[in-house]
Amino acid sequence: MADTQSSSLMDGLHAPDVAGPAPAAKPRGVRQTAALGFAILSLVVLGVVLTRAVQSHSNSPSEMSKRRTLVDSETGTVFANHPVSLQETVPFTNPKTGKRTLFPAEACYWTKDGGAKLTPTYVLLNEAVGKPGPTLCPDCGRKVVFHNPLPPAEDMLKAAQIDAK
């Protein structure tokens, strides 16, 4: 059983905050300064864009996107191994609805009777959507946490053996 949940949350390449406060209506004398400021700002933005373009060019496709299992916070739909761009930040866009309602899912491999299962239940963490309180797995009722731990290896092995029969 390969651990497919080992990816860390490397979401969001934060763009440098280059946008200063936009100057409101101003007297004529300030125009040149404003124009100069705008030119500098444009250069900074251009620099950021170019740097990103070069970075994305040098990165292989596997580095530029990765696959995540996501849950839609509105519909509950699970998108298993959904490709997401590293440029995108949480929440990701649901391709079906066009809404940004997809959050990384935590996998729960526990069964109700305390054993393990090979096909996990994917759970949306309360904290991912800003809800208070612990997240309980709808299947087994256990608490689900960020980087949810797997059941003990021997239980996983047992599940694999049962599955193989």
Binding region for Zn ion (CB under 5 A): 108, 110, 121, 137, 139-140
| Least Cβ distance, residue 135 to Zn ion (angstroms) | 10
Backbone angles phi, psi at 72, to 5 degrees: -80, 125
| Least Cβ distance, residue 142 to Zn ion (angstroms) | 5
- CB nearer to Zn ion: pick between 20 and 133: 133
| Distance (Å, whole) CA 54 – CA 56 | 6
| Least Cβ distance, residue 120 to Zn ion (angstroms) | 8
| Distance (Å, whole) CA 69 – CA 106 | 8
| Least Cβ distance, residue 122 to Zn ion (angstroms) | 10
Burial bucket for residue 129 (CB in 10 Å: 0-12, 13-18, 19+): middle
| Least Cβ distance, residue 12 to Zn ion (angstroms) | 28
Which helix (H) or strand (E) covers residue 85, if one does?
Answer: strand 78-85
Distances (CA, A) of 52 to 16, 43, 49, 133: 12, 14, 5, 39
Exposure string for 110-120, b = 16+ CB within 10 A, e = fewer? bbeeeebbeeb
Closest residue to Zn ion in the complex (CB): 137
- CB nearer to Zn ion: pick between 52 and 147: 147
Q: Name residues whose C-beta falls within 8 Å of residue 8's C-beta, 6 or more positions apart in sequence.
A: none
